[in-house]
Structure formats: structure tokens, C-alpha cells
Structure 1
Amino acid sequence: MSFIQVNNVWQQYGDHVVLEGLNLSIAEGEFCTLVGASGCGKSTFLRLLLGQESASKGEILLDGQPLAAQPDPSRGVVFQRYSVFPHLSVLDNVALGLELPHAPLIGRLFGQRKRLARQEAEQLLCKVGLGHALDKYPAQLSGGMQQRLAIAQALVMKPRVLLLDEPFGALDPGIRKDMHTLLLDLWRETRLTVFMVTHDLSEGFSLGTRLMVFDKVRIDPHAPYAYGARITYDLPLNAKRTEAQRASTAQLSGVIN
């Protein structure tokens, strides 16, 4: 059974059709990069996967079950604009994700539970290269460091799916390269299924194990919004890396089960 199954999904806002007839089968652990012209529905598809929106038609299944109609801990997300809390320290930004589910009213844990949450947050921050900046605030961090913080926020809940909407678009080329290395290392270690929107075709080819091109194949100049985008190309990439990831997933699943 596929990990994620997309069955004849359409998304339409009034008379404006954005996506039409999407059909996909995604195995667990794939790294899918999504490319295409601006406005062709890539980010809309990401919002459908996140649960921010519901499809106008069709269905998306996760492990054979309908995708939850709202964001939940199984899906983490990182946007191009840093989704961090400016009034909290780096450590508190990440620890908050562990505290809120257990203390939704006050947003804080106490005693031993709080210490354990902060230890776990600190370990993850060290993993993404922010172990030296635990007490700093987001405004004191560079763009690349803020994006590392956003990734740590997304990963601290141990999601099964990571959704990335042009996460490195605002970064300098050198920093982007470092972020690519970090992301691939985290992907190999966590066995996450990743969907990443990018306008950089070379980034899509170098990072993904699968590249999907979104494009409109039908255009009516008299009704520009009558047709939506489809996935016109679905290309397997980096075959050796894909097989290694699948072997690792299978091996670890055997140990867990």
C-alpha cells in the first residue's frame, strides 16, 4: 500500500480552477521536489497535504486513511518566511512545540517534564547547528540560522511528512548549499517523506528522489481560469539514494515491528 495516495484531486475557488485531476502514489521516505511556473498550484497542493485546505474534488489518503482535515503533528511545515516566535529564545521556540500539546491552556510544563522537553529541544538544535545559540532571539540570527530554527520547530514533533515551501529561496547561494546538506542529512536520519516546492530547477534535481512538474496543459484565452494545472512530468531521480533510503526504512521497520 502507498504511504500517500492522491486520487483525482481538484482544487477550485469559485470559477477559478487551480489544480485538476492529480493522481499520485507516494512511498514512505521519498523526497519529492515540486517545480513549475508561479501560480501553477504547487503551494496549493502543499496546503492540501498540510490540511489547511480541503480538496474541491477527490481525496488524499495517508496510510490508507483520509488525510486529517486540519494540520496535525504527523505533518511538519517550513515556509520561506520564517515562522518563528520573535519574543522567545531559540531554545524556547523549539521547546514550546513539546510543551503545548501537554499543556494547551498555559503552554508550559513544569518540573521534570519541562527539563526533559528542553533537553530534547536542545539536542535537536545541536543537530541543526544551533547548539551555540540557545539563548539568542530570532532577530539576532542570520537568515540561514533562522531557517535552521524553523526546521527544528517542524521536526521536534517527529512528523512523518515534512512540507517545505521554498524554504531556501531568500538565502545566499553559499548558505543554501549548507542548508541542502543539512536537509539531506536530516532526511536520511529521520526517514521522513518530504515534499519541497522550489523555483530552482537545479535544486529540485539535486535534492529530490522524485521531481514533479506542475503545468497547465489546457489554456483558453477567453476563460483563463477555466482549467487548472496537472503534473505533466513525474521523474525518478537519484536512484541509488532512493534505494538506500528504502532499504534503511525497511530495516528499521523490521526492528520496530
Structure 2
Amino acid sequence: MSELVIDNVWKEYGDQIVLENVSLTVASRAFVALVGPSGCGKSTFLRMLLGQERTTRGTILLDGEPLPPEPGPDRGVVFQRYSVFPHLTVLGNVLLGKELTAAKYKAKLFGSARGGAIEEARQLIAEVGLSGAEGKYPAQLSGGMQQRLALAQALIMKPKVLLLDEPFGALDPGIRAEIHTLMKRLWHETQMTVVMVTHDMREAFTLATRVVAFERPRDRPEEKQRYGATITKDIAIWPPRRAGEPSHSNPDRDGPVALQGLHRDDPSSSPSGDK
């Protein structure tokens, strides 16, 4: 399960109110896109879900429990700027989360534990279409490849919630379309809930199960500090999209058909790449 319940959340910085009275329930395995004008608090809201920011008022629950006060492995994140380590190879970047979790002080695994983690990392690298690039460094990768790496880096920890902060905005249209296909496939085959901030309305309606709009109802210059943004629209995509189920309107494009039997827990399956 990975349900998020946001109840009457406010975020203030001193006298400035950024968000006010935000309430939202995100069902387990939903894919929610957050849209709205620049500066309306979308990324601030995402950072509160991550644990980088605390609410001023209100509560955020994950599966009925309050979010921990700091980021943890139950929430993965991918930013627009590629959050990968330039001094580590592709394999090293993906493996790092496992090493830090299992060996906090040495950040190094040994023996069978390391072998198992490397195998898992290689499988995930293949799933995101980077097979053969395990020994390359981020500077040797294209922008699209670096974003695939950032996704693998987040997914290796099997997060309950994946948070995306305009992750595809810097990509060329053709590469972005490929990453969209990959993102749909990963969402269908995992158990995670996805919350994505985007300024691209087409992207929001292409990927999400719901599109949630943030806006400042009072946006005159003299009102901007005294009144924050809140949810003004909550649009469910029709026909409905559900993780692991084919779409009624575009089963080959929006459904899990492209997986062709690929499941992370099935070692006998072979990665099929993007379709």
C-alpha cells in the first residue's frame, strides 16, 4: 500500500503564506500530476511529501502513519537537474543507495550481499534501457540517459512513493516521448504511487490518472504574501487509468501490454526495452 492523505496543510515562511488549506487523498498506485503557474507552491508541496520541508499546519499521512520528519527510502525523488554523482559509474550510482542503507558508515557491501545488490542493480539498469552502460560515467551519457539513470537510482530502493519535480522538462521532445513510455512501463510494473510536478499540460494528461491544479485565488500584488495557493481543480482522467491494467482507449500505448511479461520479481523474464 502507498496511500497519501494530505489534510488541511498550510505552509508559511514568516509572514508569507505559500500554501493554504490543501487537502488531498492520493490512492495507492495512483499517478497524480500537479500543475499550476510558477511560484504557486507545487515544488514546495512536493518537498513536504519528501520530508525536506515541514508543514506549518495540517498533517500528511503515508498509509495511515505521519511522514517521518526527514527523507527516507520509502520516498524516491527525481529532479529536473540530474541528481546523479559524477564521480560514480552508472552501476555505482544505482548501487549506492543499497550500500548506504546496508552499511551506513562504510557505504560498502561485501561478499554475497554485494553480489546480490550488483545483480539487482544490473537488472534495474537493463529495465531502464541502459544495459551496456554500467561502466560509463554521467558525463559520458546523453541527457535522456542521465534521466534514466536518475530513475534507476530512485527505484533501486523500491519506494512506496516516487516524487518527480519537472523531471523531463529539459529533454528534447523525442527523448521526452521515450522517457514517457518508460515511465508508464515502470508505473505499471511496480507498486509505487507517483506524484509529479510539471508545467507541461500535455505531459500531465498523457501520464497521470489525476491532474491537480494549484492556484492563488487572490493574486493581486498586495495579496500575495497574505494568501497562499490551494487546490482549485482536481480532474480525474477519463477513461480511467489503473496501474497494471490495460487502457480501454489506448491499450497498446497506455496499458501494461508493452511489458511483455517483464516483472522485477521474475528473474526468468528479460528486459524488452522501450516500446
* Range of TM-score over shorter length: over 0.9
Q: Which residue in 2 is equivalent to 1:11?
A: 11
CA distance in structure 2 between the partners assigned to 1:44 and 1:240 by the alignment: 28
Deviations 1:119-165 (A, max 9, x none): 10000000000011000000000000000000000000000100000
Instruction: Provide the residue aligned with 1:203 in structure 2.
Output: 203
* Residue 25 (structure 2) aligns with: 25
In the other structure, the counterpart of 2:272 is none
Structure 2 residues not aligned, in runs of 5+: 247-275
Counterparts of 1:156-235 in structure 2, within 5 Å, are: 156-235=156-235
CA contact (8 A) 2:76 2:161 kept: yes
Query: If each structure's helix is expressed as a fraction of its own residues, which one has the higher value?
Result: 1
State the partner residue of 1:124. 124
Distance in 2, matches of 1:177 and 1:3, equals 28
Give the Cα separation in 2 of the matches to 1:2 and 1:178. 27
Deviation of 1:43 (Å): 0.2
Correspondence 1:38-77 to 2 at 5 A: 38-77=38-77
Q: 1:178, 1:211 → 2: CA distance?
A: 21
Instruction: Give the drift of 1:239.
Output: 3.3
**Residue correspondences, number:** 247
Could you state the TM-score of these two structures normalised by the residue count of structure 1?
0.93
1: distance between equivalents of 2:205 and 2:33?
8
Give the distance between the partners of 2:128 and 2:222, measured in 1 at CA.
Answer: 50
Whether the aligned pair in 1 keeps the contact of 2:2 and 2:161 (CA below 8 Å) is no
Between the aligned partners of 1:199 and 1:15, the Cα distance in structure 2 is: 27
Q: What's the CA shift for 1:3?
A: 1.6
| Equivalent residue letter for 1:179 | I
In the alignment, is the contact (CA less than 8 A) between 1:42 and 1:214 conserved in 2?
A: yes
Q: In percent, how many aligned pairs have the same letter?
A: 59
What displacement does 1:240 show? 3.6
CA–CA distance in 2 between the matches of 1:244 and 1:149?
23
Aligned to 2:81: 81
Give the Cα–Cα distance (whole angstroms) in 1 for the partners of residues 227 and 245 of structure 2.
37
CA distance in 1, matches of 2:45, 2:174: 29
**TM-score between both structures, scaled by the size of structure 2:** 0.87
Structure-2 separation of matches of 1:167 and 1:34: 13
Supply the distance in 2 between the matched residues of 1:245 and 1:70 (Cα, whole angstroms): 34
Aligned pair in 2 of structure 1 residues 134, 243: CA closer, same or farther (>3 Å)? closer
Give structure 1 regions of 4+ aligned residues with deviation exceeding 6 angstroms.
none
Distance (whole Å) between structure 2 residues aligned to residue 186 and residue 83 of structure 1: 19
- Mapped to 2, the partners of 1:81 and 1:243 lie a distance apart of 27
Cα distance, 1:244 vs structure 2? 5.5
Shift of 1:238: 4.2
- Per the TM alignment, residue 199 of structure 1 is displaced from its structure 2 partner at its CA by 0.5
Partner of 1:7, secondary structure, is strand
The answer to whether the Cα contact below 8 Å between 1:143 and 1:171 also exists between their aligned partners in 2 is: yes
Paired with 1:227 and 1:235, the residues of 2 have a C-alpha distance of 24
CA distance in 1, matches of 2:3, 2:139: 38
Partner of residue 252, structure 1: none
CA distance in 2, matches of 1:126, 1:82: 19
Whether the 8 Å CA contact 2:36–2:215 is kept in 1: the answer is yes
Q: Distance in 2 between matches of 1:64 and 1:106?
A: 34
SS class of match (2:171): coil
